[in-house]
């Protein structure tokens, strides 16, 4: 059987109130006949799985809820297409954009549906997203596209090689954006209008779960450029040690032991940073 050119992967978790609309649109537009359409039920406890099985699409199921990223990983590993398109199952993404995204995948390694200013967004998340964008742009040293848009497509071979560094949670989109930019792959964007999700409220609450946001930031930094943390810290500690040492020498005609400790600590932090950078590089090594 000939492999399809395009696979569409859609994760779902407890979306019985909103998932039918997207399935009906996909069947209405005959995407299930043109492409491989894969739904991954991430351990839903409602009737999500039953609704998916009413339609002529492929469906895989997790016995327990593993996370948004884990569901995408399952779908991507099961996909047979040369290109993979992902979108949300909650009614936010209009399937009519899929054709535009697929056409752009001929020219780009990753294509992201970039949400327009009039798209629906949860206001309470804007501050957290702004911080992550600042950190991300500092890491990749270039402007970021809509880094956490859930509507995107990839070359399947490239995203498969990077799945081992992708998280199981909602930061899959953010991490994949930074990974493709950091690896020098081409990333294209086009505007999309996103609607308010159907059914239950989103599980993602950036400000309420501030600790998770900070852990995500630290994880991203350590994964892609740990020297961005270690080098400034080492330079600061080393400089403090030197200033304190010179001050102590001028006052007491001796270099204080505490200053020596700070200088040595600054040097150790720098070498730890070099080691962390090498480990991060090895961790990002492509795997088939």
Question: According to the model, what pLDDT value does residue 38 have?
Answer: 97
**pLDDT confidence of residue 211:** 63
- Tell me the pTM: 0.81
Digits of tens for pLDDT over the chain (288 positions)?
A: 566 789 999 999 999 988 998 999 999 999 999 999 999 999 999 999 999 999 999 999 999 999 999 999 999 999 999 999 999 988 788 889 999 999 999 999 999 999 887 776 655 556 666 777 777 777 777 778 888 888 999 999 999 999 988 988 878 998 899 889 888 899 999 999 887 766 555 555 555 555 666 677 777 778 888 888 899 999 999 999 999 999 988 888 888 999 999 999 999 999 999 999 888 888 776 655
Please tell me what DSSP assigns to residue 286.
Answer: -
CA dihedral 113, 115, 120, 124 (to 10 degrees): 110
At residue 276's C-alpha, the angle toward residues 272 and 277, to 5°, is 120
Helix or strand (DSSP H, E) at 117: none
* CB 227, CB 219: distance < 8 Å: no
User: What's the confidence (pLDDT) of residue 102?
Assistant: 95
CA dihedral (193, 196, 197, 200) in degrees, to 10, reads: 170
Name residue, tokens 């040097």. 267
Is 224 in contact with 142 (CB distance < 8 Å)? no
Distances, alpha carbon 33 to alpha carbons 4, 28, 211, 220, in Å? 10, 10, 44, 38
CA distance 158 to 181: 12
């Amino acid at each position: 059987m000939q492999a399809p050119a395009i696979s569409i992967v859609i994760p779902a978790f407890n979306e019985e109130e909103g998932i039918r609309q997207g399935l009906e649109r996909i069947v209405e537009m005959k995407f299930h006949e043109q492409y491989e359409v894969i739904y991954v039920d991430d351990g839903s406890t409602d009737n999500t799985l039953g609704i998916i099985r009413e339609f002529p699409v492929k469906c895989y199921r997790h016995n327990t809820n593993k996370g948004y990223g884990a569901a995408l990983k399952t779908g991507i590993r099961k996909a047979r297409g040369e290109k993979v398109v992902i979108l949300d199952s909650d009614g936010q993404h209009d399937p009519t954009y899929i054709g535009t995204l697929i056409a752009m995948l001929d020219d780009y390694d990753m294509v992201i549906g970039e949400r327009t200013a009039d798209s629906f967004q949860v206001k309470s998340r804007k501050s957290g997203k702004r911080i992550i964008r600042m950190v991300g742009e500092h890491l990749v040293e270039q402007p970021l596209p809509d880094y956490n848009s859930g509507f995107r497509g990839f070359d399947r071979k490239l995203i498969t090689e990077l799945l081992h560094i992708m998280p199981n949670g909602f930061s899959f989109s953010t991490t994949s954006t930074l990974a493709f930019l950091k690896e020098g792959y081409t990333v294209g964007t086009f505007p999309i209008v996103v609607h308010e999700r159907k059914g239950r409220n989103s599980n993602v609450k950036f400000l309420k779960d501030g600790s998770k946001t900070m852990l995500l930031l630290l994880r991203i930094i350590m994964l892609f450029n740990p020297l961005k943390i270690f080098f400034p810290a080492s330079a600061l500690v080393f400089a403090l040690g030197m200033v304190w040492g010179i001050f102590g020498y001028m006052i007491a005609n001796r270099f204080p032991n505490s200053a020596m400790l700070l200088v040595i600590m600054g040097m150790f932090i720098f070498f730890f940073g070099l080691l962390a950078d090498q480990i991060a590089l090895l961790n990002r090594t492509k795997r088939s």
